[in-house]
Amino acid sequence: MQDEIDLDDLYREAKAAVRLEAETRVAKAKATVRRPGEPKAREGAKLWSDPDNWNRGKNVALLHRETQTLLGVFSEWTHVSEPDCRRLIREEAELPVHCIEEVSGDWGWKGPVALDHEDSTVRELTTELYVTLTRPAVTAYCLLTVIIQLAGIHSVKLHAPLSFGGEGEILFLPAGTNILPVMSQESKIALREVLAHEY
């Protein structure tokens, strides 16, 4: 009889359906189980935005190559699944510096405006001052080259290579580094006072 169902065929089909369902369940379970060091999200924006996918590394002082300006201290974060991918986040807290790196480009920092013209309104002065930096919080007695245009301080550069120190930390900066953006408010006031009296 043609209409009769073969029980063996029916059994094989049911067995294949059960196997497929079990394999699908196992695959879904594996996709949701995260191994140590594996990112939480594997695709899309969450791969990059999920904080659990980033490991905190060292603290880096950044030196802007084009202007030789110390930009401050940044914390380094590396991605758990992309070892060559890292991001640097500016830190406002006082943190120890593990290394110094040079960077190029904007970095969200607006440097001093270019000197309008180098005429009698631009003065270059040399002075000595005890300077405290913020981020990193270190101090040193410095020989400084101060560039002034009209009444504004354009830049404050180290006249020679110098080691700053504070609370077990030493930060070595090359000659010509502009420290104005990271000088403490007290040091900026002291510099203005020195310039007012000496010049």
pLDDT for position 11: 77
Q: Which domain holds residue 157?
A: 122-198
**Distance (Å, whole) CA 197 – CA 143:** 17
**Distance (Å, whole) CA 183 – CA 189:** 10
Structure tokens at 47: 């791969």
For 67, counting Cβ atoms within 10 Å of its Cβ (0-12 exposed, 13-18 middle, 19+ buried), the class is middle
Q: How many domains, in total, are found in the chain?
A: 1
Give the pLDDT confidence of 6-56 residue by residue, as tens digits. 777 777 887 888 788 877 777 776 665 555 655 555 556 678 888 888 999
Element (H, E) at 159: none
Backbone torsions φ then ψ of 22, nearest 5 degrees: -65, -40
On whether residue 42 sits in a domain, the answer given is no
On whether residue 162 sits in a domain, the answer given is yes
96 vs 120, residue with greater confidence: 96
**Distance (Å, whole) CA 32 – CA 46:** 14
118 falls in which pLDDT band (50, 70, 90)?
low
On whether residue 90 sits in a domain, the answer given is no
pLDDT for position 188: 94
DSSP state at residue 192: H
pLDDT for position 32: 56
Contact between 177 and 69 (Cβ < 8 Å): yes
1 falls in which pLDDT band (50, 70, 90)?
very low
On whether residue 26 sits in a domain, the answer given is no
Residue type, 150: L
On whether residue 83 sits in a domain, the answer given is no
Contact between 146 and 179 (Cβ < 8 Å): no
Give the pLDDT confidence of 137-195 residue by residue, as tens digits. 889 999 999 998 877 888 999 999 999 988 778 889 999 999 999 999 999 999 999 98
Give the pLDDT confidence of 79-112 residue by residue, as tens digits. 988 878 898 888 887 778 888 999 888 766 666 6
Residue by residue, DSSP assigns 3-64 as TPPPHHHHHHHHHHHHHHHHHHHHHHHHHH---TTS-S--SSTHHHH-GGGEEEEEEEEEEE
**For residue 127, is pLDDT > 60?**
yes
pLDDT for position 49: 82
pLDDT for position 159: 93
Tell me if residue 79 falls in helix, strand or coil. Answer: strand
For 100, counting Cβ atoms within 10 Å of its Cβ (0-12 exposed, 13-18 middle, 19+ buried), the class is middle
On whether residue 8 sits in a domain, the answer given is no
On whether residue 151 sits in a domain, the answer given is yes
On whether residue 33 sits in a domain, the answer given is no
